[in-house]
C-alpha cells in the first residue's frame, strides 16, 4: 500500500523535474499509482498544495533558525533571516511556485499557513525587542505579517527574475525593513 508520504515525495520529485505546472496524472505516474490513489492518499490539487506548503514551511523555519542562530535582534539578524528565506525558496523554486500558484478552489489558508510558521517567532522577538526599547509591543503581530507578506511577494518576483544574488537582495530588503523597525 502506498502511503501519503510516498505520494508527496513523488510530487516533489516531479515538480522539481518538470516545473510547477505538473498535473496530478504526472504525479501519479511518478508515484507508480493511479490518479484515484493520489486522491485517496492526498486529495486534489488544493489538498496536495496544502500538504506541500507544510513541508516547505518547515524547511523555511529550519533554514531561518539556522541562519539567525544566536544573533541579537537587529539588522544583521534581519538580513540573515531574509537571505535564508530567499535561498530556501530558490532551492525549492518550483515547489514554491506550485504551492503559491493557486487554483479556483484555493483559499487563503495555505498562504496564511506559510506566513504563520514564520510570523509567530518573528512577532515574539519583535515584541520583546520593542518592550526592551520602551516601545509598544502591540504592533509586533501586524508588523511580522507585513514583513512576511512583503518577503513573499519579493520572493515571487526574485525567483522569476534572479537579477541579483540572494545576499544582495537580502541586504536591500533588510535596509528597507530596518529603517522602519528601528524607529526614529
* 14 and 65 together in one domain: no
What pLDDT sits at residue 144?
85
User: Residues 6 or more apart from 176 whose CB is under 8 A from it?
Assistant: none
User: Where in the sequence is the domain holding 94, given as residue range(s)?
Assistant: 45-181
Concatenated DSSP letters of 48-63: HHHHHHHHHHHHHHHH
Residues 39 and 64 reside in one and the same domain: no
**Tell me, what's the pLDDT at 22?**
93
Q: What is the CATH number of the domain that holds 10?
A: 1.10.10
User: In 3D, which of 31, 88, 32, 38 has the Cα closest to residue 64?
Assistant: 88
Residue 180 C-beta-side C-alpha neighbours within 13 Å: 11
Q: Which of 111, 110, 99, 96 is nearest to 155 (CA)?
A: 96
Angle 93-101/4-18 helices, nearest 10 degrees?
110
Whole-model pTM over 0.95: no
Q: Indicate if 67 and 127 belong to the same structural domain.
A: yes
Q: What is the pLDDT of residues 63-93, one digit of tens each?
A: 988 998 888 878 898 899 899 999 999 999 9
* Residues 117 and 151 grouped into a single domain: yes
pLDDT in tens, 99-119: 887 655 555 666 677 677 777
Domain match, 169 and 130 both:
yes
Domain co-membership, 111 together with 138:
yes
Q: What is the CATH number of the domain that holds 101?
A: 1.10.357.10
Same domain, 169 and 141: yes
More confident residue, 163 or 1: 163
**pLDDT tens-digit readout, 23-47:** 999 999 999 999 999 999 999 988 8
Same domain, 26 and 58: no
- 71 with 2, same domain: the answer is no
Alpha-carbon span 53 to 48, nearest angstrom? 8
- Domain total of the chain: 2
pLDDT for position 105: 57
Same domain, 58 and 13: no
Which residue, chain included where needed, has cell 509567530? 120
- Per-residue pLDDT at 183: 61
Distance CA 25, CA 162 (A): 30
Residues 17 and 66 in one domain: no
User: Can you give the pLDDT at residue 153?
Assistant: 87
Averaged pLDDT score across all residues of the chain: 87
Q: CA-based angle 48:113:22, to the nearest 5?
A: 25
Characterize 144-182 residue by residue with b for buried, 16 or more Cβ atoms within 10 angstroms of its Cβ, and e for exposed.
bbebbeebbebbeebbeeeeeebeebbbebbeebeeebe
| 4-25 mean pLDDT | 95
Amino acid at each position: 500500500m502506498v502511503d501519503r508520504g510516498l505520494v508527496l515525495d513523488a510530487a516533489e520529485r516531479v515538480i522539481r523535474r518538470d516545473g510547477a505546472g505538473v498535473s496530478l496524472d504526472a504525479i501519479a505516474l511518478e508515484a507508480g499509482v493511479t490518479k484515484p490513489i493520489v486522491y485517496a492518499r492526498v486529495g486534489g490539487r488544493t489538498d496536495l498544495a496544502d500538504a506541500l506548503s507544510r513541508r516547505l514551511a518547515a524547511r523555511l523555519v529550519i533554514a531561518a533558525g539556522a541562519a539567525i542562530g544566536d544573533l541579537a535582534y537587529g539588522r544583521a539578524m534581519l538580513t540573515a533571516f531574509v537571505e535564508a528565506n530567499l535561498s530556501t525558496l530558490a532551492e525549492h523554486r518550483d515547489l514554491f511556485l506550485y504551492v503559491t500558484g493557486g487554483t479556483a478552489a484555493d483559499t487563503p489558508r495555505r498562504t496564511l499557513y506559510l506566513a504563520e510558521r514564520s510570523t509567530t517567532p518573528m512577532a515574539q522577538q519583535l515584541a520583546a525587542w520593542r518592550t526592551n526599547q520602551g516601545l509598544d509591543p502591540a504592533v509586533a503581530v501586524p508588523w511580522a505579517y507585513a514583513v512576511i507578506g512583503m518577503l513573499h511577494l519579493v520572493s515571487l518576483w526574485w525567483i522569476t527574475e534572479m537579477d541579483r544574488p540572494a545576499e544582495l537582495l537580502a541586504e536591500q530588503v533588510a535596509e528597507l525593513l530596518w529603517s522602519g523597525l528601528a524607529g526614529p
